[in-house]
Amino acid sequence: MGPISMAKITVDGRTFEVDDSDNLLEALLGLGEDLPYFCWHPEMGSLGSCRQCAVVQYQNEDDERGRVVMSCMTPVTDGAIISVQGEKASDFRKSNIESVMLNHPHDCPVCEEGGECHLQDMTVMSGHKDRQYKYQKTTFNNQDLGPFIGHEMNRCITCYRCVRFYRDYSGGDDLAAFGSRGRVFFGRAEDGVLENEFAGNLVEMCPTGVFTDKTLSAHYTRKWDLQSAPAICTSCSLGCNITVSERYGEVRRVHNRYNSEVNGYFLCDRGRFGAGYVNSDDRIPYCGIRNANGVYEATPADDALSHLKTLLNDAKSVIGIGSPRSSLEANFALQTLVGEDNFYSGLSGSEAEIASLQLQVLNSDIKTPSLAEVEDCDAVLILGEDTTNHAPRLALSIRQAVRNEAIDLAKEARIPLWQDAAVRKLAQDARSPLFILTSSEDRLDGVGTGIRLSSEDIALAGINIANGIDGTVEGGADIQPIVEALTNASKPLIVTGSSSASPDVVSAAVKIATALTKRNAKTGLLICTDEANTLAAVKLTEKPFPATGADVAIILENDLSMRVAGSTLDDWLAQVTNLVVIDSLDNNVSSRSSVVLPAATFAEAEGTYINNEGRAQRSFGAFKPKGDIAPAWDWLLRICHGQDLLTDVKHIDDLLDAIASAHKDLAGAVDAAPNAAFRVHGQKISRMTHRSSGRTAIVADVTLHEPKQPEDNNSALSYSMEGTNQGAPGGMKAYTWAPGWNSNQSISKFQHEMSGSAGEGTRGVKLFTGSSVQLAATEISPDGNSNGIRIVPNWHIFGSDELSNRCEAIHSLAPSPYALLSPGTAGKLGVQAGDALKLAAGDAPSLAVMLDDSIAEGCVICPVLEETRAYLHLQAVGDRLLIKDESWTPPAGDENIISSDRSS
């Protein structure tokens, strides 16, 4: 971006300076004008179809008539004279909204969008109330679009936002505009699950209630009755900002929370629809101690804590196993409790290795870009990382990065970038280079060059590319285009990660980034790990898992069965006398523990998460959990107090201070959000809306006395409508609302510049700001196992993540275990389609064999699922076996084994 040049415009007699690369709508919204719109979107630019943002533009001061123009389609020009509130402009908008509403069913009372409907807001804003249309309205059929999204086409106002987002922005092709004139239909060719992984954004993109959140509809609550908090999504390593909302002790929904540097306006469907596990029947509700009969008994918290105190006092050896999905605070408290030597990160071996490399990168001269910066990159190389399924939101950003070629062409042709359709028409299929080196088909193949190789060959190709960039070795014909694209780019980007569980692949990516950084300091390297807080865990310790047992082992929010394979875990558990588990959901480790403490989920607890770019972000809970359920860090703090540790630490802020003094490079985490003492004009920040209704009626069937609302001593937020929301800094807002703007579009009222950062407050704190240190070259010599067979983990956006997979809607789209391999590889293993392979002897899961010519030779693609995950992470190839399962019979019916097959 060049320097911003400003233009003076006169709006209803007042003169302002605005950015002249904007259109008038953007400029006027930035000035705080209430100007209604539908089809324009801050991230997707203008279309000009809804005609709602009309203003009158005058040619000069003598022009008294003026001309109606669409502000979204009119560039800012110096000296422009505009009327927004004048009669001519407002009459046009009034007529237009009347037309928009002509066929709308006015079913607000039974519509999920009611109360946060952009169409309602804009109708009121445009001043339309009396209907004159007295004829029959247009009606449509609705479709079943799968478990996430409801469809009610009669409400449609034909703004084209859905198809623009779905097709143009996120690359989907199974949602389209059909028909013409007054009968344009937005849907699929036939009923079926929307295939795109970002389809859930339609819920927020649609300005009215055509596309609604089915998981909310299942236990619906109006927006004004929701209690919400600014939280961080925990379903991958990207740390997208979300608003999580609750009523009556249940999480009702997740909405996007704008962060200009991370997720912007969009989430993936796992993040949006995957929080339902909070309401799961599998929640651990009380503290428990296993009795003599081997059955858990509910135990009062104090009794459980004193039992633990005794255990710890008597123990000769104590081990703490941390968690890549728990908060930084909880991991630190556990480390403090057991001591540094006895603390393990609880990562799988390969993820620990990859995360250590990532830490080195963050502390080196190689730049780690944010998602916003990814979108600026003009050449991308993906090395063995399945972004769409492992770090989904990143795939959406890469889709925007390949458009940089289109943006360059538009700049050359002097087409403003907000002229979205014109920019796309001009560029057609022109794209910035994207190379995808993975072992199986990738969702991004359609916008780049997919190259299928085994992990070993990806690592080798990476080394060759690095050497090619260094000029030490001439790259082969297949490598040369990649080398040229990366060296010619002004902002090249390498994306890699732990999805293929291969540290060699990541090392190769680091090698490429090192070579490129020497030539171009703007080179970016983004490494994705498996979990939301992998970096925090590995920052505290590089030891993943203990070799021996102990008298007491405390496991913090970690289903080790997904990271440590069956026999190894069994052997270790046998050496542990007292297994203590702090977790929210019952799992394969808590079921074998002797003491359990009920942990709050992200929706009920505050905590700090460090995402894959080293950004510390604070997440807040929306509601106080039931009974004795408490944040894991709170349990650990109380246990520490029993051991005379951290005695000065009372609240999370004290804990963060303790972290800051113990770990200098984590000190920035303190500033990730304002502390509990923070007030806005003396007020706390309200989690409930000021219209929150019925609070007093919640327990009216029991008592007429309204109970006192819980207090929150750990954050500046209140469990109440008392306090302020609007005055809160952006990063602390529990929900977004402004007068006249009840929908999520109200975010624009807090931005001085559309899609800009102003008014946002904290966007998190980047902890590792890099250095001039060049990484030392590491030797990589990847080699396959003796028979040349390699298992490649295949992540699934729905099914591979531990917690979201406990939601019914997500789980319904998860695949059954399969092994995808080429006919040649199948021949080597002595199996054919219809057979099954076992990952190991004994209880290891069976995988249905499926053949696919496109799979790299020697690769066996296996889905990452609860039952398979631990086996796929194993490092030593010798530990893994692939043997024909002689006893296997294929499941009945013709259910699709891979969810992505559901469309084909």
Partner 1 sequence: MTDKPLTKNIKGDKPADLAAYEANGGYVAVRESIGKKSSSDLLDMVKDSNLRGRGGAGFPTGMKWSFVPMEKTEGHKYLVCNADEMEPGTFKDRVIMEKDPHQLIEGMILSAYTIDADIGYIFIRAEYHAAAKALHEAINAAKEKGYLGENILGTGYNFDLHVHSSAGRYICGEETALLNSLEGKRANPRAKPPFPQVSGLWGRPTIVNNVETLCNITHIVANGADWFKSLGLGEDSGTKLFGVSGRVKTPGCWELPMGTPIREILENHAGGMADGYELKGFLPGGASTDFLLPEHLDLAMDYDVIMKAGSRMGTGTMIIMDDKVCPVATVRNIIEFFARESCGFCTPCREGLPWIHKILDSIENGRGEPQDIDILNRQAGFLGAIGHTNCALAPGAIEPLASAMKYFGDEFNQHIEEKQCPYSAKNGAN
Q: Which residues bind partner 1 (CB under 8 A)?
A: 46-52, 54, 67-70, 73, 92, 95-96, 99-100, 102-103, 132-133, 135, 157-158, 160, 177, 179-184, 409, 413, 415, 419, 421-422, 425-428
CA distances in angstroms from 157 to 146, 207, 593, 819, listed in the order given? 22, 8, 56, 46
Q: How many DSSP H helices and E strands does the chain contain? A: 25, 35
CB 651 within 8 A of CB 638: no
Question: Closest distance between partner 1 and the C-beta of residue 388, in Å?
Answer: 26
Question: Closest distance between partner 1 and the C-beta of residue 406, in Å?
Answer: 9
The beta-carbon contacts of 751-758 under 8 Å, at least 24 apart in sequence, are: 751/29, 751/30, 751/42, 752/30, 753/19, 753/26, 753/30, 754/22, 754/26, 754/29, 754/30, 754/42, 755/42, 755/43, 755/260, 755/264, 755/265, 756/260, 757/260, 757/261
DSSP 329-352: HHHHHHHHHH-GGGEE----HHHH
Measured from the CB atom, the residue of 90 and 99 that comes closer to partner 1 is: 99
Question: Closest distance between partner 1 and the C-beta of residue 39, in Å?
Answer: 9
Measured from the CB atom, the residue of 61 and 429 that comes closer to partner 1 is: 429
Rounded CA separation 21/216 (Å): 39
Measured from the CB atom, the residue of 134 and 681 that comes closer to partner 1 is: 134
Rounded CA separation 545/343 (Å): 9
CA 829 from chain center: how many Å? 38
Residue type, 268: C
Question: Closest distance between partner 1 and the C-beta of residue 488, in Å?
Answer: 18
CB 699 within 8 A of CB 709: no
| 3-class DSSP state of 23 | strand
Question: Closest distance between partner 1 and the C-beta of residue 390, in Å?
Answer: 34
Measured from the CB atom, the residue of 22 and 801 that comes closer to partner 1 is: 22
**Count of residues in the chain:** 904
Rounded CA separation 523/514 (Å): 9
Output DSSP code: residue 43.
T
Measured from the CB atom, the residue of 135 and 894 that comes closer to partner 1 is: 135
Measured from the CB atom, the residue of 21 and 725 that comes closer to partner 1 is: 21
Measured from the CB atom, the residue of 103 and 327 that comes closer to partner 1 is: 103
Angle at 837 between CA 832 and CA 839, to 5 degrees: 155
Measured from the CB atom, the residue of 183 and 690 that comes closer to partner 1 is: 183
CB 202 within 8 A of CB 44: no
CB 159 within 8 A of CB 119: no
Structure tokens, 403:
């458009």
Measured from the CB atom, the residue of 124 and 301 that comes closer to partner 1 is: 124
Strand order through the sheet with 434-438: 449-452, 434-438, 379-383, 492-497, 524-528
Measured from the CB atom, the residue of 359 and 422 that comes closer to partner 1 is: 422
Question: Closest distance between partner 1 and the C-beta of residue 407, in Å?
Answer: 14
Residue type, 869: R
Measured from the CB atom, the residue of 22 and 261 that comes closer to partner 1 is: 22
Question: Closest distance between partner 1 and the C-beta of residue 141, in Å?
Answer: 17
Question: Closest distance between partner 1 and the C-beta of residue 751, in Å?
Answer: 25
Measured from the CB atom, the residue of 409 and 660 that comes closer to partner 1 is: 409
Question: Closest distance between partner 1 and the C-beta of residue 31, in Å?
Answer: 23
Question: Closest distance between partner 1 and the C-beta of residue 95, in Å?
Answer: 4
Question: Closest distance between partner 1 and the C-beta of residue 446, in Å?
Answer: 17
Terminal alpha carbon distance of the chain: 42
Residue type, 791: I
CB 497 within 8 A of CB 529: yes
Question: Closest distance between partner 1 and the C-beta of residue 48, in Å?
Answer: 5
Measured from the CB atom, the residue of 65 and 316 that comes closer to partner 1 is: 65
Measured from the CB atom, the residue of 429 and 886 that comes closer to partner 1 is: 429
| 3-class DSSP state of 862 | strand
Q: What is the 3-state secondary structure (H, E, C) of 105-118?
A: CCCHHHCCCCCCCH
Measured from the CB atom, the residue of 413 and 699 that comes closer to partner 1 is: 413
Measured from the CB atom, the residue of 425 and 626 that comes closer to partner 1 is: 425
Question: Closest distance between partner 1 and the C-beta of residue 418, in Å?
Answer: 11
Rounded CA separation 605/619 (Å): 8
Question: Closest distance between partner 1 and the C-beta of residue 99, in Å?
Answer: 4
Under the phi-then-psi rule, with left for phi > 0, alpha for psi from -120 to 50, and beta for the rest, what region is 769? alpha
CB 885 within 8 A of CB 835: yes
Question: Closest distance between partner 1 and the C-beta of residue 210, in Å?
Answer: 15
Half-sphere exposure of 817 (CA within 13 A, CB side): 18
Rounded CA separation 122/120 (Å): 6
Q: Which residues contact 615 (CB under 8 A, 6 or more apart)?
A: 239, 261, 262, 370, 763, 764, 765, 766, 767
Question: Closest distance between partner 1 and the C-beta of residue 135, in Å?
Answer: 5
Measured from the CB atom, the residue of 96 and 762 that comes closer to partner 1 is: 96
Rounded CA separation 469/39 (Å): 45
Question: Closest distance between partner 1 and the C-beta of residue 139, in Å?
Answer: 14
Measured from the CB atom, the residue of 160 and 435 that comes closer to partner 1 is: 160
CB 513 within 8 A of CB 522: no
Torsion of CA 73, 79, 81, 82, to 10 degrees: 40
Question: Closest distance between partner 1 and the C-beta of residue 482, in Å?
Answer: 24
Rounded CA separation 247/39 (Å): 32
